[in-house]
Amino acid sequence: MRLRIEPGGRLAGAVRVPGDKSIAHRWLLLAATGSGRSTLLEVPGSLDVRSTGACLAAITAEARPALHAWALNDAGYREGHRSTWNVRVEGEDDRPLSTPLEVEGEGRRALTEPSGPLACGNSGTSMRLLMGLLATTGFRTVLTGDPSLSRRPMERVAEPLRAMGASIASTDGHAPITIEGRPLRGTDVTPSVPSAQIKSAVLLAGLDAEGITTVRESVRTRDHTERALEALGAPIERSDGSIAVRRFQHEGFSATVPGDPSSAAFLVAAAALTGSEITIVEVGLNPSRTHFLEVMARMGVETEIDIRHEEMGEPVGDILVRPASGVHAVRVEADELPLVIDEVPVLAALAAHAPADSWFLSAGELQVKESDRLHGIGEGIRAIGGHAAVEGKDLVLAGGGLEGGLVDARGDHRMAMAFAVSGLGARGAVEVEGMESADVSFPGFSRTLAALGASIRVAAGR
């Protein structure tokens, strides 16, 4: 689908975003391996999370019917209910409803050998977390992915698990991944790259390993796994730069998945580029996920956060975006880049409109995302009349604004949304080819922007 975004206009209103993908993956894994019933609300219907649900359905018995039905037919799962996102929130009576996803868990020991390979689709989180979960089972599992996922590095996860005694074979460092489940022993792990996925895979394995499993981080990464385990009563210890866990079997639980802050980032940028005021409600405000707001503040974007409650240790509340009078250039240092790795595309979209150079230093990790975002961002910005370059592993945006034009999202959900948002501040219309890829994380993204007041329509083309 090709989407045409007209510049200008004003956005207004309050809106929800889909549930947090990172949290949903983890809570689904914990629900399927819990002892007893778990009830989850606002589980996002994004393609990546459905991949996790489908994989879990294949290795569980009691949880299989609910997970299988939800993963394959999200529309049916929500039948008779208003959409959980993509709506204006006018008052308390208009708050969206969500059908509970009820998962019957029988504990980790009840996992069963799948009848065939587990297809993770495009979801690196699904594959990497499942590697940790499945490493301690007594059966063989093969994890596969689509062509994009099959190019992403997996040895960085396999190596620390092997240090615990796991039998994991990759295909030249990539998927397919073959796991021969066996008993593991706790060990002390320092991931080769800062990664919440690696950390979570090791911690999930450590929950069923002998002794203590410790993960040491050189750079702080998102901590959703640790928060959830603490909320469930797991014997987890956290100190500066390290997380340790022992064997533990948790019970079932009930929780509501908060809105995804990474999805909210695109709406914050959209408001900033149009000088608008909007409110994004019921968003996850975990400090390990909101560093992009600090970067945006340096760019002249004023926001206020209001924490209202907690879910499984996760702070949840609203983000109010104040009207911005312009966008400033920014320099994102190497040590803070891991804290905004998913938001770099939208931060770059903002930076393209600044009056001076913006730098994103040591951004090589962008090359092993759903696409090569490092070069894709630069090429995309140039395609719509901006100035950008890659210098070594640094991404440089020269600023000066965008003229408009046609850009290909390369099948990458975050680049599709970033280029769409960038068009709101361009001098001419921007057309984004491949806008349907936004459904990976934000189904109905274009409808959400339109509901807030952006001028968006499907353009002629493929």
What does the block give as tokens for 280?
Answer: 């994004």
- The secondary structure of 138-163 as a DSSP string is SSEEEEE--TTGGGS--HHHHHHHHH
Residue in 212, 251, 217 with CA at minimum distance from that of residue 235: 212
Q: What do you get for the CA distance between the two ends of the chain, in Å?
A: 6
Provide the residue count of the chain: 462
Cα separation of 266 and 345, whole Å? Answer: 9
Give the pairing of strands 277-284 and 303-311. Answer: unpaired
**Nearest 5°: CA angle at 191, between 257 and 171?**
90
Cα separation of 63 and 53, whole Å? Answer: 10
Q: What is the CA radius of gyration of the chain?
A: 21
Cα separation of 105 and 2, whole Å? Answer: 42
Residue in 310, 325, 324 with CA at minimum distance from that of residue 268: 324
Cα separation of 396 and 138, whole Å? Answer: 49
> Residue 434 in contact with residue 420, Cβ under 8 Å?
no
Residue in 438, 429, 437, 439 with CA at minimum distance from that of residue 459: 429
Is 93 catalytic? The answer is no
> Residue 300 in contact with residue 328, Cβ under 8 Å?
yes
Q: Is 417 helix (H, G, I), strand (E, B) or coil?
A: helix
What does the block give as tokens for 165?
Answer: 């005694």
Residue in 29, 198, 24 with CA at minimum distance from that of residue 128: 198
Please identify which of the residues 342, 408, 412, 439 carries the catalytic annotation.
342
> Residue 128 in contact with residue 152, Cβ under 8 Å?
no
> Residue 37 in contact with residue 102, Cβ under 8 Å?
yes
> Residue 16 in contact with residue 87, Cβ under 8 Å?
yes
> Residue 164 in contact with residue 208, Cβ under 8 Å?
no
- Hey, which residues are catalytic here? 342
